[in-house]
Chains A and B, each alone.
Chain A
Amino acid sequence: MNKIIKKGAWVQIELNLLNPGERDLHVPEDTKKVPLILKTKGFLKEDAAIGDEVKIKTIIDREMEGELIAENPSYKHGFGRPVEELIKVGKKLRKMI
């Protein structure tokens, strides 16, 4: 059974804004084959589970409706490993001054 996310939780929803057949005439062929997707966040208006159609109130109090995809998702961008190709750049440049 899907875990119930409580009303008032900070969540992310997803909306399918345009289906592949509805994309703008000017987009490239590869983009035409996929939908235009919107993700946005807000406070959940009623208890719900992932995958449910839900309503949220955004941080500026706008109501939005879409599929619940995550509860308070993590920021995943970071740095990753140092890049070996860049590590010696400074050493070399310092010798030139």
Chain B
Amino acid sequence: MNYKDLLKRKNEIMKKALKINYDEFEEEGISFNYDMMMGKASYNIEEIRKIQNETKVGNTPLFELKNITKVARTLSAPGKGARIFIKDEATNPSGSFKDRRASIAVYYAKKKGYKGVIAATSGNYGAAVASQANMRGLKSIIAQEVFDSRGYGQPEILEKGRKCEAYGAEVMQLSVGPELFGVLLWVLDDTGFFNASLYTPFAIAGIETLGYEIATELKKREGKNPDAVIITNAGGGNLTGTARGLIKAGSKDTKVIASSVNLSGLHMASDYDFNRKSFTTGHTGFGIPFTTWPDRTDVPRNAARVLRYMDRYVTVTQGEVFYMTEALAQLEGMERGPAGNVSLSAAFSIAQEMEKDEIIIVQETEYTGAGKHPIAQINFARENGIKVKIGNPEDEIPGKNIIIPESPEMIRAKNLDINKLRESYIRNTVKRNELKNVSKIEVKFLIEETKTNINFVISTLEDLGVKVKETT
């Protein structure tokens, strides 16, 4: 692998591996036409439902978590304690919502005549791509970041690798490092396969059906839109796609809440830190950088842009998620993997602030099994020197300890300051593009990107020393 040469040829390789002309969505300066990209490079919701129906994706059950709601109500003030529902995405063919995301990418790859698909991912997405590729008769290669320099692999990722092999994918297991991207380029160049990136318009459009199903089913059953939908956030696709689907189903006032596991202080590309975290995704180590600078991916423009849709962003601790994973099994009879339970943990806390007649929806579950389970994760943490004990989650320090809450009232979703995240997005845009002044079109773009208003954008720009150009 000639890493430097591959990076130089990045644009040429990606063009062949995507067959999407991103140039046509570019507008003045920093702005580009997001809606045009989502419309032109993808399919409408009816087409997506049809494509997903062909490969066993979607129409997953929406369950009310009556017992967990009961516990939340015992801890709430009178009149408080919203009803908590969960969308059982684990019932998709490869066991997670990622099948929605993979289904459209693989369909497109087949239509465009590619012989195979490649995804660089350590998550459930790999299995989803491999599973969908099987149904469409394509080959698949999954490149994963798996182990540290001692050769120790994250149990959760090892399980995901096994699952990819179970679907007949070629699995490339890599040590820690962002050069995974170079490996992706190397294999794309060698095979001529499609880049089934997590961040194409297809990957995001595929998730729209999730939000759409939630809103349409709830309206049928309860005669109303959900008051809040809570979404585990990492790269941003889950939130972006779900929120777009809610809007398409007419559920425009639903609060869209992001939730991530707090892993502050751990460096995601550090060989040493790699095995000192118990979560491989759904954490702040991806969630915050992707929120404040989405265009850090393997495609020219990331279709996952969470600030456009997010109303609130909270964090929970690793120990809280393990506790709620146990609660889901013990109270609701559903043993599910950790990812969706990041939002379940936050929902349990937020429901206590909401009115009794309101509804909050946890929009995913994932499959569970060897490696991908609190028992495996906690044992692995201990082997890596992490202290595990019962106590107050307030005392959890990522990479040092995991605190299993002593009692459920200690589970508290912590708010991140969303305006700070919005300012940070604008700051990153200014820095990366070395902006001295911006046009009115660019200001309009920043308003859309941050879901704010002209005053917010202009005062943030002024603080950064950037002027708005007068146009004639």
Cβ-defined partner of B375 (8 Å) among A37, A42, A86: A86
Provide the residues of chain B in CB contact with A90, threshold 8 Å.
326-327, 329-331
Chain A: interface residue count, which band?
35 or more
For B379, the closest partner residue in chain A by CB is A80
Stretch at the interface among B172-180, B214-222, B243-251, B307-315: B172-180
Provided the pairs A17-B179, A60-B140, A78-B376 are in contact, do residues A93 and B162 lie with their beta carbons within 8 angstroms?
A: no
Q: Is B70 an interface residue (CB 8 A)?
A: yes
The answer to whether B407 touches A38 (Cβ under 8 A) is: no
Interface SS of chain B: helix, strand, loop or mixed? mixed
For chain B, residues 150 to 183, give those with C-beta under 8 angstroms from any C-beta of chain A. 153, 155, 158-159, 162, 165, 168-179, 182-183
Stretch at the interface among B27-35, B232-240, B268-276: B268-276
For A76, the closest partner residue in chain B by CB is B158
The answer to whether A38 touches B183 (Cβ under 8 A) is: yes
Kindly count the residue-residue contacts between A and B in the assembled complex, taking CB atoms under 8 Å apart: 155
For A90, the closest partner residue in chain B by CB is B330
Provide the residues of chain B in CB contact with A76, threshold 8 Å.
158
> Can you name 10 A-B residue pairings with CB atoms under 8 Å?
A27-B178, A27-B269, A59-B168, A60-B170, A78-B155, A78-B371, A79-B375, A83-B374, A86-B404, A90-B331
Provide the residues of chain A in CB contact with B400, threshold 8 Å.
none
Q: Is A4 an interface residue (CB 8 A)?
A: no
The answer to whether A30 touches B272 (Cβ under 8 A) is: yes
For chain B, residues 293 to 325, give those with C-beta under 8 angstroms from any C-beta of chain A. 322-323
Provide the residues of chain B in CB contact with A97, threshold 8 Å.
67, 70-71, 74, 331
Cβ-defined partner of B376 (8 Å) among A23, A30, A79: A79
Complex CA–CA separation, A17 to B116 (angstroms) = 23
Interfacial residues, chain B to chain A (CB-CB below 8 A): 1, 3, 67, 70-71, 74, 116, 139-141, 146-147, 149, 153, 155, 158-159, 162, 165, 168-179, 182-183, 190-191, 267, 269-272, 322-323, 326-327, 329-331, 370-371, 373-376, 378-380, 388-390, 404, 407-408
Distance between A17 CB and nearest chain B CB, rounded to angstroms: 5
Instruction: Kindly list the 8 A-B residue pairs having the minimum CB-CB distance in the complex, ordered from nearest.
Output: A90-B330, A80-B379, A77-B371, A34-B149, A77-B158, A37-B175, A89-B326, A77-B155
Provide the residues of chain B in CB contact with A37, threshold 8 Å.
147, 149, 174-175
Provided the pairs A30-B271, A40-B172, A83-B374 are in contact, do residues A93 and B330 lie with their beta carbons within 8 angstroms?
A: yes
The answer to whether B388 touches A83 (Cβ under 8 A) is: yes
> A28-B270, A83-B379 provided; 14 other pairs, C-beta below 8 A?
A28-B269, A34-B271, A36-B174, A37-B147, A37-B149, A39-B173, A42-B170, A60-B139, A83-B374, A86-B323, A86-B378, A90-B327, A90-B329, A96-B70
The answer to whether A60 touches B379 (Cβ under 8 A) is: no
Cβ-defined partner of A36 (8 Å) among B67, B140, B175, B379: B175
Residue with the greatest number of chain B CB neighbours at <10 A, chosen from A60, A77, A96? A77
Complex CA–CA separation, A22 to B50 (angstroms) = 47
Provide the residues of chain B in CB contact with A92, threshold 8 Å.
407-408
For chain A, residues 27 to 65, give those with C-beta under 8 angstroms from any C-beta of chain B. 27-28, 30-31, 33-42, 58-60, 62
The answer to whether B162 touches A77 (Cβ under 8 A) is: yes
The answer to whether A94 touches B272 (Cβ under 8 A) is: no
Cβ-defined partner of B159 (8 Å) among A27, A28, A34, A77: A77
Residue with the greatest number of chain A CB neighbours at <10 A, chosen from B140, B190, B270? B270
Provided the pairs A18-B179, A94-B331 are in contact, do residues A40 and B173 lie with their beta carbons within 8 angstroms?
A: yes
